[in-house]
Amino acid sequence: MIPSSTRNDHLPVYESLVRERGDVVEEARAVAEQTQRQMPEALNGHEAVQPEHGPR
């Protein structure tokens, strides 16, 4: 069995793309972490909202 060594290998193509386009994987990770931090606040805020009563 050959172990996966992509974490330690030099990946010039990936590094080139990161320089040209930005590190999309890192950006997605940061957005996911931010969303996880905001989710409890949003859910708690949503629970506290009272439904509006329209005209009858």
What's the pLDDT score for residue 14? Answer: 83
pLDDT band at 17 (very low <50, low <70, confident <90, very high): confident
Q: What domain range is 33 assigned to? A: 17-45
What is the mean predicted confidence (pLDDT) over 15-42? 92
Percent of the chain as helix, strand, coil, to the nearest 5: 60, 0, 40
Residue 41 confidence class, pLDDT cut points 50, 70, 90: confident
C-beta atoms surrounding 41 within 10 Å: 9
Does the residue 23 lie in any domain?
yes
State pTM to two decimals: 0.49
**Mean pLDDT of the region 23-34:** 94
**Do the domain assignments include residue 7?**
no
Number of separate domains in the chain: 1
In a domain, 38, yes or no: yes
| Domain presence at residue 5 | no
Domain membership of residue 37 (yes or no) is yes
Output the pLDDT for position 1.
45
- The confidence band for 31, taking pLDDT boundaries of 50, 70 and 90, is very high
